[in-house]
Structure 1
Amino acid sequence: MSDVPPINIYSMTVPVLLNGIKNLTHILDKAEAYAAEKKIDPSVVIEARLALDMHPLRRQIQSVSDTAKGAVARLSGTENPSMPDTETTFAELKERLQKTVDFIKSVDPALFEGAETRDVVLKTPAREINFTGYSYVIGFVLPNLFFHITTAYAILRHNGVDLGKADYLRGG
């Protein structure tokens, strides 16, 4: 008997989202410990960025949350929970990630049935982007999730947090 689930939108998305959030939470734990050990004001780390025109660490975490909860809501036809971007501490950022996990886990996998071909409309301030569920997952959700997790990792690594590839790839 194989431990590989059937391949469908749920199995392509939800486990990946949950694993990414778990790894990002671990990375934030290390960043918080680093700031405490080095006596760095946590807000300096939370507001760190790689380039002046880039979003800070805090926004990278919020974007991971937004990507994950938005994907699950759109693919399952459920309401996307509103989470205002007000987090300013490690505890608040980790709480937001946990709320995102709780939401994802609360959605019945049966609601993803047929999501591969379901129309998904992503509304941005500038335009609407139309996808099928499948093209949304492979062309937006997963690349966007990994972009923001990688950027958070890079911001922290650049600022001295002792992170390695194993922290990013902790596994499911």
Structure 2
Amino acid sequence: MSLTLSSITISTFSNGLSTLVHILQKAEEYAASQGLDANAEYINARLIDDMLPLTFQVQNVTNTVRKTLTRSQGKADEPWEDGEKTFADLYARIEKARQVIKEADAAAIDAKADETVDLALGPTTVKIVSRYSVLNQGIPNFFFHLNTAYAILRSKGVPVGKRDYIGSFLA
């Protein structure tokens, strides 16, 4: 079996979302064990003042899934509202992203892998081959925000480690 753009993308995003759910659950469990409210303690937590909070990181993990998969299939992107304020809201958003993955058309992703797509980078849109959009922007951006969410929780004392982060990818 050869690697395809769809198999790389779909498995990476699926496994990463499982990691995200796992570390969020560990945060809730830890908060409960310490008599803390996870929503109050972690939702707006940041690594540093000028960095955006945990909610933003989860939003961007899921936005990256949505944007990358819709773009790579040649579909129009329909933005989601960014209004999450609780862990329950974050889990619901992750489920929406999982649904995008379930509905992804692997054949369309692979058929369009060498076609040019529009990639929005802030106020600029660039033309790029779909496979490079996925491999050089989508997946790195996904991991950046996933890792930042992990680091925020770790910095707040949540007992997560490498196994918690990488476990979903090895299962």
User: How many angstroms does 1:130 deviate by?
Assistant: 2.3
Rounded Cα–Cα distance in structure 1 between residues aligned with 2:126 and 2:157:
38
1:92 alignment partner in structure 2 = 89
SS at match of 1:103: helix
For normalisation by structure 1, the TM-score amounts to 0.91
2:20 alignment partner in structure 1 = 24
1:107 alignment partner in structure 2 = 104
User: How many angstroms does 1:46 deviate by?
Assistant: 0.9
User: How many angstroms does 1:38 deviate by?
Assistant: 1.6
User: How many angstroms does 1:126 deviate by?
Assistant: 2.0
User: How many angstroms does 1:155 deviate by?
Assistant: 0.4
1:10 alignment partner in structure 2 = 6
SS at match of 2:111: coil
2:142 alignment partner in structure 1 = 145
> What is the identity percentage for the equivalent residue pairs of Structure 1 and Structure 2?
37
Maintained 8 Å contact 1:73/1:79 = yes
Is residue 2:163 matched to residue 1:166? yes
**Aligned Cα root-mean-square deviation (Å):** 1.4
Maintained 8 Å contact 2:57/2:146 = yes
Q: What are the within-5 Å matches in structure 2 for residues 113-132 of structure 1?
A: 113-132=110-129
Q: Which amino acid aligns with 1:105?
A: K
Rounded Cα–Cα distance in structure 1 between residues aligned with 2:121 and 2:133:
14
Is residue 2:131 matched to residue 1:134? yes
SS at match of 1:113: helix
Is residue 2:48 matched to residue 1:51? yes
User: How many angstroms does 1:9 deviate by?
Assistant: 1.1
Alignment deviations for residues 85-143 of structure 1 (CA, whole Å, 9 cap, x no partner): 00111111011001110121112222113222121212244211221111111210111
SS at match of 1:83: coil
Q: Which amino acid aligns with 1:40?
A: L
Maintained 8 Å contact 1:43/1:88 = no
- Note the residue ranges of structure 2 that are not aligned, 5 or more in a row: none
For normalisation by structure 2, the TM-score amounts to 0.92
User: How many angstroms does 1:40 deviate by?
Assistant: 2.2
2:74 alignment partner in structure 1 = 77
Alignment deviations for residues 29-48 of structure 1 (CA, whole Å, 9 cap, x no partner): 11111122222232331100
